């Protein structure tokens, strides 16, 4: 289990991490979701020991590791840029980081990650997806108590990214390792997470199941983290709803201004009494429509 207690790190140039409290259970995949600069990667670096905290504690499996160096924490890190060694084969990457080099176990990990036939190849001879698998297999070869993943699929093409992240979740659940995963992609968070933690301006603003955080965001920051957002001002309140939360057949009147197709879905810009919004309905410009929002969220203005 991973436990963070009032963990803080401030930077002179901007936000860092501010008083984060978090528990991640054994074998759980918790995804930190937030925009660039929200503190996600800084939090990973604090857990890994790559940055010292100004305040707070890091506990792993009931042991405080706040002041321990990275190599003594029982943590493995999959970086965004992978950081593979160009002169080593896939198999050598695993053997080098194992507490006790075990060729049979290393080959088993390569087989589980679909790399057995590429065991002798170096990174320059592998595809982007294969290099990603080497980085993951290397992290697991350390036999870590916690694995940290910092947007590891961002450099991959969309088709490969979608396939690989599902494979990685299956592998993490099969191995039972505790995982803290960082992303700015709400779809990725929904696919991978047992729970989602939303980061905003250095703070952890909400933690819950993907469905809970999507449907019941506790703040405007949580709502915005999942995208497809319509934000309108009305009577001193912020009205918030997603494109897919709007359906025809209600009492709210609007006029369609524009029609677009996105990934096979039709979305329309509609002029509402509160302002213009994009909604997932199939109409033509000039059509008058009657709509309902389920749900329609309200937040105080100016926050």
Give pLDDT tens digits along the chain (303 positions): 999 999 999 998 777 999 999 999 999 999 999 998 899 999 999 999 999 999 999 999 999 999 999 999 999 999 888 899 999 999 999 999 999 999 999 999 999 888 999 999 999 999 988 998 899 999 999 999 999 999 888 777 777 778 888 888 998 999 999 999 999 999 999 999 999 999 999 999 999 999 999 999 999 999 999 988 999 998 889 999 999 999 999 999 999 999 999 878 899 999 999 999 999 999 999 999 999 999 999 999 865
Sequence ranges of the chain with CATH classification 3.40.50.300:
2-221
CATH class of 228-300: mainly beta
130 sits in which H/E element: helix 128-141
Residue 46, sorted as left (phi over 0), alpha (psi -120 to 50) or beta, turns out to be alpha
- Rounded Cα gap, residues 194 and 165, in angstroms: 14
Distances (CA, A) of 65 to 31, 46, 146: 22, 11, 12
Specify the pLDDT at position 303.
55
Q: Which fold has domain 2-221?
A: Rossmann fold (3.40.50)
Please, which contacts does 268-272 make with residues 24 or more away whose CB atoms are closer than 8 Å? 272/232
Specify the pLDDT at position 15.
74
Sequence ranges of the chain with CATH classification 2.40.50:
228-300
Decide: 100 and 111 in contact? Cβ < 8 Å.
no
Specify the pLDDT at position 119.
96
Specify the pLDDT at position 301.
82
- Rounded Cα gap, residues 202 and 40, in angstroms: 8
Specify the pLDDT at position 165.
85
């Amino acid at each position: 289990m991973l436990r963070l207690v009032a963990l803080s790190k401030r930077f002179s140039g901007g936000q860092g991490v501010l008083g984060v409290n978090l528990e991640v259970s054994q074998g759980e995949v918790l995804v930190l979701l937030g925009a660039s600069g929200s503190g996600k990667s800084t939090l990973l670096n604090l857990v890994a020991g790559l940055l010292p905290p100004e305040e707070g504690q890091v506990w792993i499996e009931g042991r405080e590791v706040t002041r321990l160096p990275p190599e003594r924490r029982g943590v493995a890190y999959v970086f965004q840029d992978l950081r593979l060694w160009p002169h080593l084969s896939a198999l050598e990457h695993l053997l080098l980081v194992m507490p006790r080099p075990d060729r049979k176990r290393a080959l088993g990990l390569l087989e589980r990650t679909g790399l057995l036939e590429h065991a002798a190849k170096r990174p320059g001879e592998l595809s982007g997806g294969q290099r990603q698998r080497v980085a993951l297999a290397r992290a697991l070869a350390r036999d870590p108590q916690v694995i940290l993943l910092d947007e590891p699929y961002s450099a991959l093409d969309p088709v490969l990214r979608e396939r690989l992240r599902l494979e990685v979740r299956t592998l993490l659940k099969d191995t039972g390792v505790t995982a803290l995963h960082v992303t700015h992609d709400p779809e990725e968070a929904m696919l991978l997470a047992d729970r989602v933690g939303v980061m905003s301006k250095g703070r952890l603003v909400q933690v819950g199941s993907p469905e809970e955080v999507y449907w019941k965001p506790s703040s405007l920051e949580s709502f915005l983290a999942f995208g497809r957002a319509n934000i309108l001002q009305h009577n001193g309140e912020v009205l918030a709803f997603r494109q897919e939360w709007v359906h025809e057949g209600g009492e709210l009147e609007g006029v369609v201004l524009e029609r677009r197709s996105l990934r096979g879905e039709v979305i329309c810009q509609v002029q509402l009494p509160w302002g213009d919004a994009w909604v997932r309905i199939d109409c033509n410009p000039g059509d008058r429509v009657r709509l309902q929002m389920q749900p329609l969220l309200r937040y105080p203005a100016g926050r």
